[in-house]
Structure 1
């Protein structure tokens, strides 16, 4: 006789890998993202238009209903925001990390390390908060959220010393469902066609746009131009 706990586990496994997460469990269904992004913004973003990057790696059996299971509630908003407002502009938890733009030491006039760069490449790619987060659960469902799209002048410009393109390769090795999500097009890119640059992201991790109306759209090679319009 099979016990109820085993049956429940088999049912969950079947649900998560038979369509809810997409083909072969590698991509997140865009309908599961809106409430996650809404939660991240409401609890961890200081101001509705201020840049922040946040990532979590949730156990796959909690990912579809992580709010009901209090997964994200284990990271109090005040604690995360206090860390983001510290000199390091960085929060590192067991299953959630976050960063705000951070001043580059010794640079005049002042310039910032972008929040995506802080999470993905500091101090190195292999020792970065994002790499460590991925290593903690190699089959968990991962969401990397940045309020503004990565800028085309540095973050996703090939050859830039502050680009994050090579760091995004780490997502290729992750065996669980995953998503790279943004809300707004970076203000300095609004008059540009950023689709070519964003293809570098799309080559490495499924890309989504979740706007303020909480609707999330999968950005694909076919709709990338419309997906990135202001």
Structure 2
């Protein structure tokens, strides 16, 4: 026989977690907004492109904004590593990247690609981050939307689309978030490319005013 106090606690536990991320384990955009603000204020180098991902313990998913989790990763240390030739920060629960110049070329490896595809998808920083806690609360943030010319180009050698398949089997809450539409895509309809992201992981846009919107098939063009 279960005592009334324990039973009541179990009921409240279930209600709390179903209310935070529901059956589909999606993140509420109002909860997500302060997290993105924290990432930008502490880790983004100015208004320059950066990609940041973290895998928070699931019990921090509703309250990681109390800084008990993210404050373990001081901005000064993260930015120092981002400004190194490697353009990477490799933490146990948080990773970040800036675009990295390609030797002998004027082009750069994009930050999303560095986290998801280097040296390959199976051994990438993002795969290791996901495997670190397979039920954790995972947020992948990129300041600019993944570009259509390389990052979301179907079959492209620098595409992240196939790498995003790694999110599909993740059991915890997850989100792929961007703030601005990449400047070279502003005059394009990027909805087809973003649909490929949306197929694999819940997609959000958190604008400069910290207002976050969940992107769906129905409102994808509004998200742009």
1:102 match: 100
- The alpha carbon displacement at 1:218 in A equals 0.4
What is the DSSP-based 3-state SS (H/G/I as helix, E as strand, rest coil) of the residue aligned with 2:152?
Answer: coil
RMSD: 1.9
Distance of 1:86 and 1:98 partners within structure 2: 12
2:140 equivalent to 1:139: no
- The alpha carbon displacement at 1:13 in A equals 5.1
Q: What is the aligned length?
A: 223
2:84 match: 86
2:161 equivalent to 1:160: no
What is the DSSP-based 3-state SS (H/G/I as helix, E as strand, rest coil) of the residue aligned with 2:142?
Answer: strand
Normalized against structure 2, the TM-score is what?
Answer: 0.94
Is contact 1:67-1:73 (8 Å) kept? no
Distance of 2:131 and 2:10 partners within structure 1: 23
What is the DSSP-based 3-state SS (H/G/I as helix, E as strand, rest coil) of the residue aligned with 2:214?
Answer: strand
**Which stretches of structure 1, 4 residues or longer, exceed 3 Å deviation after superposition?**
4-14
1:21 match: 21
Distance of 2:126 and 2:96 partners within structure 1: 10
Normalized against structure 1, the TM-score is what?
Answer: 0.92
**Any stretches of 5+ residues in structure 2 without a counterpart?**
none
Distance of 1:9 and 1:74 partners within structure 2: 31
Distance of 1:13 and 1:102 partners within structure 2: 44
What is the DSSP-based 3-state SS (H/G/I as helix, E as strand, rest coil) of the residue aligned with 1:217?
Answer: strand
What is the DSSP-based 3-state SS (H/G/I as helix, E as strand, rest coil) of the residue aligned with 1:209?
Answer: strand
What is the DSSP-based 3-state SS (H/G/I as helix, E as strand, rest coil) of the residue aligned with 1:86?
Answer: coil
What is the DSSP-based 3-state SS (H/G/I as helix, E as strand, rest coil) of the residue aligned with 1:67?
Answer: helix
Q: Deviations over 1:109-157 (max 9, x none)?
A: x110000000000001010000000001100110000000000001001
- The alpha carbon displacement at 1:226 in A equals 1.1
**Any stretches of 5+ residues in structure 1 without a counterpart?**
none
- The alpha carbon displacement at 1:68 in A equals 1.5
* The one of 139, 147, 155 aligned to 1:151: 147
